[in-house]
Structure 1
């Protein structure tokens, strides 16, 4: 499959594979890398919860600044963090974009019989910022803590086994599906000569999606059988080394608690 669709698929799958397989930052000597995985998971998840509670742009920007500070102290490249966190808020912005004309309020712009309101624009901006900061915070966990340690921390925190299974299997096997998609594109390109039109590219894309769906279902069944053959009925028990909780861990937990309480007070107490 040549053309824009083929190049887009190859670029997306390559980028996503890099995102899911790169853990070099976790070996650096940074703030979050030195924390106990249980503390890191609970604290950063608490900060993300505080972001979801808030309903003001100013507070959301403050949490964004906290995220940048944590990333800098943890030796996380801001460009890499942005690359991990940009896709989800952009998709969310597209989904809630109709709110700029649906929500009532003072008219900002009027065009084609539609009125863009101030309240609608504020809602879209706030929603996108909240999603972006929340995703960036959760990305910090994976980027600064080996994924096996994250799974072990969730088990030690008594997170439901079914949820831990879903997260572990999704993370470990998702890049296999990207490899499958890349192989389909490569096979299609090797059987195609010349440049196809945009219409032809979309026609090939529809066929590829159908084939990819069938192969994905087949791969999922084979992965399930392989897990059962290797004792998949038991809960995940990743290797982890216990750490001593120090003052830095307590300070990070206190920061998360203050953030959650402060967001609640700003939203419901003022």
Structure 2
């Protein structure tokens, strides 16, 4: 499967490896790195909720500025945070782009007989910013808190065990399946000469799809047996012990609480 699809698989695999290798930033001495994982999880989730509640672009931009400030205080490069958070809001903007001509309002310009309204443009911008800030907050949590600490925080917060299992197993083993696909692509490329086009790539993809499906099922069975052999039938236990909250933890919780309350008041106030 050389050609376009092979490069696509390699790009996806590289992106997943970058996601799972992001815990190196969690070792830095930053603001969020020093916070209790339970506090970081609750505070960033509350800020994401505040972004969802807002319905004005100015408030959403304030949340974006707050996210950028937290990133700077936590030694997270803004360029890297933006790169990790840009894809989802761009796709979301394309999904809601028709609202720019469907919502009634004052016409800003006319394109092919369609009027782009100010209300439609404002809706698209607000939706894109809200999605982008929410994804950035999630990325900030992943970058500044080791995943094992996130799992421990979920257990301490009494999140249902089944949900914790799903999150932990998905995080740990998703990239293994893409590694399996990359190995299949490498084996196919080692037996193929020349560059194939999109049609040839789809033909090769059909040929290896069944093999990939069978290998992923076999890998899943082996993973399950390995987990049961290591006591995986028991609920996941926290990887670290909780500590007492300090002033920074309380300040972060207070900031998140004030932001959520203010966002809710501004949304539902007459």
* TM-score normalised to structure 1 length: 0.92
- The answer as to 2:98 corresponding to 1:98 is yes
Question: What does residue range 240-255 of structure 1 map to in structure 2 within 5 Å?
Answer: 240-255=240-255
The CA RMSD over aligned residues, in Å, is 1.9
Q: How many residues align?
A: 270
Hey, what's the Cα distance between the residues in 1 that align with 2:191 and 2:117? 51
Shift of 1:150: 0.9
1:225 maps onto 2:233 in alignment? no
**Post-superposition offset of 1:190:** 1.2
Cα pair 1:17 1:178 within 8 Å, conserved: no
Task: Sort the Cα spacing of 1:185 and 1:153 in 2 relative to 1 into closer, same or farther, 3 A.
Answer: same
- Write the mapping of 1:107-118 to structure 2, written as runs, cut at 5 A: 107-118=107-118
CA–CA distance in structure 2, aligned partners of residues 106 and 218 of structure 1:
59
Counterpart Cα distance in 2 of 1:149 and 1:79: 25
Residue 32 of structure 1 aligns to a residue in which SS? coil
Deviation at 1:48, TM superposition (A): 0.9
Relative distance call for 1:101 and 1:211 in structure 2 (3 A) is: farther
Aligned 8 A contact 1:2 1:196 in 2: yes
1:202 matches 2:202 = yes
User: 121-130 or 97-106, which moves further after superposition?
Assistant: 97-106
Inter-CA distance 11–59: structure 2 relative to 1 (3 Å threshold): same
CA distance in 1, matches of 2:12, 2:152: 30
Unaligned runs of 5+ in 1: none
Q: Distance in 1 between matches of 2:148 and 2:124?
A: 36
Please, which runs of 5 or more residues in structure 2 have no aligned partner?
A: none
Contact 2:64 2:133 (C-alpha < 8 Å) held by counterparts? yes
> Which of 191-200 and 96-105 deviates more?
96-105
Show CA shifts across 1:72-111 (max 9, x none): 1011111221222122222222322333333333333433
33-42 vs 97-106, which deviates more? 97-106
How far apart, CA to CA, are the structure 2 residues paired with 1:116 and 1:225? 57
The answer to whether the aligner puts 1:216 opposite 2:212 as a matched pair is no
Separation in 2, partners of 1:100, 1:205: 38
CA distance in 1: counterparts of 2:132 and 2:220, whole angstroms: 30
